[in-house]
Amino acid sequence: MRYEFRWEVLWSGQSGAWLLQGLLTTLAISSLAWLLAAGLGILSGALRTVPWKPLRAVATFYVEFFRNVPLLVWMFFWYFGVPPLLPQVAREWLFDHGAEFWAGMFALGVYHGARMSEVIRSGIQSIPKTQFEAAVAMGLTTFQAYRLVIVPIALRLIVPPATSESLNLLKNSSVALTISVAELTFQTRQIETYTARAIEALTAGTVVYLALCVGIATIMARVERRFAIPGLIARGG
């Protein structure tokens, strides 16, 4: 049997517009979720190292709770489970404004925030304790010491694993198709359904994901070099 490739299905009809829309949705949901994940990750990762037990406990609970439930379950939870708990006004607003997008974004953000948290914690824990002592010995409060010294150093140390985690987040945004967010994978499947051209459609999706991820990795490598701490072995590749 000989398969005849028909790449033109990707730009004939609505395919092109669908792909573009999927790409934009993937970028939107991923970047918002990334911001949420970074915020939660830095906060909880830092809290897990502070010298005050109740705060550590809260952060540990967040991490263990959110990273130990499958992402798919979180998607369902935030889409099907949470809205009925909201006040009616909020619920109606949500369903008028793409509830699946926000639920998907939230699920992605809190799940990856928990994973990011561990990356950041390991960064903080690789800094000698005496750096913190030097910071507070000058009169900085614990909060200032973290904000001005500890977290900035940790963030510079964790660029490589944080990059991997960010790429995972981007790729995991495809799970949002299960709650019908029209992101890239969703649109790829749609093209496949309409044209019955699986290889062409999936190849298109694959190439776009690949290009996105390689692009991000390249940018992050630059960030790593730009912010490298002088005197460490680390050199961005």
Partner 1 sequence: MTDAVIEFKSVNKWFGKMHVLRDITLAVEAGEVVVVCGPSGSGKSTLIRCVNALEPVQGGELVVLGESLTRPGVSLSALRTRVGMVFQSFNLFPHMTVLENIMLAPVKVRGLSGADALRTARALLERVRIPDKAEYYPANLSGGQQQRVAIARALAMQPKIMLFDEPTSALDPEMINEVLDVMTDLAKDGMTMMVVTHEMGFARRVAHRVVFMDAGQVVEEAPPEQFFAAARSERAREFLSKILTH
Binding site for partner 1 (CB under 8 A): 128, 130-131, 133-141, 144, 148-149, 152-153, 156, 227, 229-232
Nearest to 112 by CA among 44, 53, 189: 44
CB of 149 to partner 1, least distance (A): 5
Rank residues 30 and 49 by Cβ distance to partner 1 and give the closer one: 49
For residue 115, give both structure tokens.
């994973």
CB of 57 to partner 1, least distance (A): 21
Rank residues 86 and 148 by Cβ distance to partner 1 and give the closer one: 148
Rank residues 23 and 135 by Cβ distance to partner 1 and give the closer one: 135
Cβ atoms of 116 and 142 within 8 Å: the answer is no
CB of 101 to partner 1, least distance (A): 37
Separation of alpha carbons 23 and 154, rounded Å: 32
Residue type (1 letter), 32: L
Residue type (1 letter), 103: A
In which element (H, E) is residue 234 found?
A: none
CB of 124 to partner 1, least distance (A): 14
Rank residues 73 and 137 by Cβ distance to partner 1 and give the closer one: 137
Cβ atoms of 163 and 119 within 8 Å: the answer is no
